[in-house]
Amino acid sequence: MLTFIIRRFLQIIPVMIGVTLAVFLMMHLIPGDPAQIMAGERADEAQVEQMRENLGLNDPLHEQYLRYVGNAIQGDLGTSIRTNRPVVNEIFDSRIWITIELAFWGTVLAVIFGLIAGIISATRKYSFADVSLMIVALFGMSMPNFWLGIMLIYFFSVNLGWFPIVGWESWKHMVLPVITIGSGGAAIIARMTRSSMLEVLDNDYIRTAHAKGVSERLVVYKHALRNALIPVVTVVGLQFGTLLGGAVITETVFAVNGIGRLVVDAIKARDFPMVQGAILVCAVAFVLVNFLVDIAYRLINKRIDLN
Amino acid sequence: MSKQPLLEVKNLKQYFPIKGGVLGRTVNHVKAVDDISFEVYEGETVSIVGESGCGKSTTGRAILRLDEPTAGEVNFDGEDLLSLNKSKMREKRKDLQIIFQDPYASLNPRQTVGQIIEEVLKIQNIGTSSKDRREKIISLLETVGIGAHQVDRYPHEFSGGQRQRIGIARALSVNPKLIICDEAVSALDVSIQAQVLNLLKELQRKFQLTYLFISHDLGVVRHISDRIIVMYLGKVVEISDTQSLFENPQHPYTRALLSAIPSMNFEEEKRERIILTGDVPSPIDPPKGCRFHTRCPYKMERCAIEEPVLNSVSDGQRVACHLVEKGAVDYTKIPVNS
């Protein structure tokens, strides 16, 4: 198991090289001169040159890249143009934790509802419950987050007054954004669990379990679900990773100050170091989540080998 | 064999509903097994043969209630299995076990071999302590030729033949009276097939087992069976002891099946080959009268109207065919398609 973790961890290195390279090159590939943009529109030639020198843009590309990576490893992602504070502080002081909290509870909600719905559907195939749950799931997948968010605000905040409209302070603030962000995942997990369970339930080892005299409940949970979970775990991992970087819309609708809004604001203000830093952090988070998923995968499926 | 049968299947029917439309209404049924009856006596090996889709595996599963049968009776050891409630049935499962065709699909990939067998021992309350059970598991595995050091391995670490032995050990672990072998050797290499068949025979002698052997391979069936049941499209067409069946098949379908066995005997070259034309009709809407009449080379007018019943033609041989009823002419002398 330890060798597995180490070997899987080593695989992260080439991925990280690719990610940093992409983020770094973004700076050079976007139209316009970064130094000009950073120095501001009214800066004269000398000021732009000074900025270029300060940013090290006159050095060879590979040197710039190595310096960028070196700084990033030491936790230096540059300074935000907009706020003049270090990018790392902007991200880690509060923003990323709010997004992680949102993504985490969204995933928890998605897993709980998705699994329950998927199991009910699969064990009662073609029943009324199955058909209705799958129709609900179809809605869950098809509804855009901004629309669902607005509808939830309209009904539960404006009309019923149960929850606050915007912000991120108490658990009450979290309810509607978490539902908004988790609904899509719940629907995907429900459908995934259903099809995976149906496939597993048709296996001879399930009949073997019945023939042994294992009770219906244990057949479903011990023999079927554990085997059916393998593809579901992958989806959950991807879902959580996507939520980390993709909470932009939900955060905007509910005016939650997470990393998604930070990125949107930074793009609007052409705050390049900020955008770069946020993308890098999200990418690293995504890679780490997938690393954990692979370990979980290994734990539930002894047959997975890195070869 | 005048004693009480161990297993008596009476008018067993297994219809699977076909759901259709938006509301999932039942629009029709697949009549996989349609009113069949037979007996299995203690200590014998009875085989069910027939081509794919004839209902032989469905029969096996219906007996064990792995699928709930639509109608009929399954008397086992003097008790109707279909009338038992769930917990009584679970207890009863100790006496009836099944070995499946695909050794790759019939073992839970997430349980070690030890756990697979231990689970059934625990459920059926066999063995007092875990140490006691462990010893039993090891001795069972050794019986089927799997070493004690392999107890904690997962199914994927074994070959197909070894897995099938594990399946056999699992089935044996509860000291069953009857084991249903559902195509138990079909997925194995021929050399391994022989090993497993010999193992099954040896175990039968050792533990006084009764086998219901489901197979499409007549060579295997001839080797292992005392009696043979031939099924066609959900119906039993012939029940016979093995020797009579192979030497003197009565039903035209049985004759066609037997003539399809490849022969190594080159002198026998002029052997009559009966090649059936057309496909097996759909079990959703089976032909009226005799189900075989659409493909039968000796079809009579009566066959399309009246369904034949199983009639004794000799001691231990029963056939459902209008051609072989008492006093009828010997149809086998009539040239095919005359």
Q: How confident is the model over B53-67, as a mean pLDDT?
A: 90
Report how far apart, in Å, the C-alpha atoms of B82 and of each of B69, B229, B274, B315 are. Answer: 8, 22, 40, 30
* CA dihedral over A196, A202, A208, A210, signed as positive or negative: positive
Q: What is the pLDDT of residues B61-75, one digit of tens each?
A: 999 999 889 999 999
CA–CA dist A110, A58 (Å, integer): 49
Question: Which of B61, B93, B110 minimises the CB distance to A213?
Answer: B93
Q: What is the pLDDT of residues A7-57, one digit of tens each?
A: 888 999 999 999 889 888 877 777 767 677 777 777 788 888 887 787 777
Q: How confident is the model over A250-266, as a mean pLDDT?
A: 86
Write b or e for each residue in B280-291: b if 16 or more Cβ atoms lie within 10 A of its Cβ, otherwise e: beebeebbebbb
Q: What is the pLDDT of residues B292-309, one digit of tens each?
A: 988 888 888 888 888 998
Domain borders along chain B are: 7-95+176-333
Which residue has tokens 């070259």? B269
pLDDT at B265: 67
Q: Are B214 and B60 in contact (CB under 8 A)?
A: yes
Closest CA to B116 of B142, B154, B72, B83: B154
Return the higher-pLDDT residue of A35 and A280: A280
CA–CA dist B249, B245 (Å, integer): 5
Q: How many beta-carbon contacts under 8 Å exist across A and B?
A: 69
Q: How confident is the model over B14-40, as a mean pLDDT?
A: 84
The rounded percent of chain B whose pLDDT value lies above 90 is: 38
CA–CA dist B178, A249 (Å, integer): 63
Q: How confident is the model over B228-242, as a mean pLDDT?
A: 93
Taking all residues of chain A, what is their mean pLDDT, rounded to a whole number? 85
Contact B110 A302 (CB under 8 A): yes
Which residue has tokens 């997938």? A290
pLDDT at B270: 59
Q: How confident is the model at residue B269 (pLDDT cuts 50, 70, 90)?
A: low
Return the higher-pLDDT residue of B320 and B331: B320
Q: Is A203 on the interface with B (CB under 8 A)?
A: yes
Nearest CA in chain A to B63: A211
How far apart are the CA of B134 and the nearest CA of chain A, in angstroms? Answer: 18
Q: Is the pLDDT of residue A307 over 50?
A: no
Q: What is the pLDDT of residues B140-169, one digit of tens each?
A: 999 888 888 999 998 888 988 899 999 999
Q: Would you say domain B7-95+176-333 falls under CATH 3.40.50.300?
A: yes
Residues of chain A with Cβ-Cβ distance to B119 below 8 Å are 209, 212, 214
Question: Which of B98, B100, B156 minimises the CB distance to A303?
Answer: B156
Contacts of A23 (CB under 8 A, 6+ apart): A276, A279, A280, A283
Taking all residues of chain B, what is their mean pLDDT, rounded to a whole number? 86
pLDDT at B335: 56
pLDDT at B338: 39
CA–CA dist B294, B170 (Å, integer): 43
Domains identified in chain A and CATH numbers: 2-73 (no CATH), 95-300 (1.10.3720.10)
Q: Partners of B13 in the beta sheet?
A: B34, B71
Q: What is the pLDDT of residues A239-248, one digit of tens each?
A: 888 887 767 8
CA–CA dist B210, B39 (Å, integer): 12
pLDDT at A306: 45
Contact B90 A203 (CB under 8 A): no
Q: How confident is the model over B80-90, as a mean pLDDT?
A: 89
Q: How confident is the model at residue B227 (pLDDT cuts 50, 70, 90)?
A: very high
First to last CA, chain B: 41
Question: Which of B24, B66, B109 minimises the CB distance to A211?
Answer: B66
Q: Is the pLDDT of residue B268 over 60?
A: no
Q: Is the pLDDT of residue A117 over 60?
A: yes
Q: How confident is the model at residue B271 (pLDDT cuts 50, 70, 90)?
A: low
Contact A303 B106 (CB under 8 A): no
Residues of chain B with Cβ-Cβ distance to A217 below 8 Å are none
Nearest CA in chain A to B100: A204
Q: How confident is the model at residue B212 (pLDDT cuts 50, 70, 90)?
A: very high
Q: Is the pLDDT of residue B244 over 70?
A: yes
Distance of CA B57 to the CA centre of its chain: 6
Q: How confident is the model over A257-266, as a mean pLDDT?
A: 86
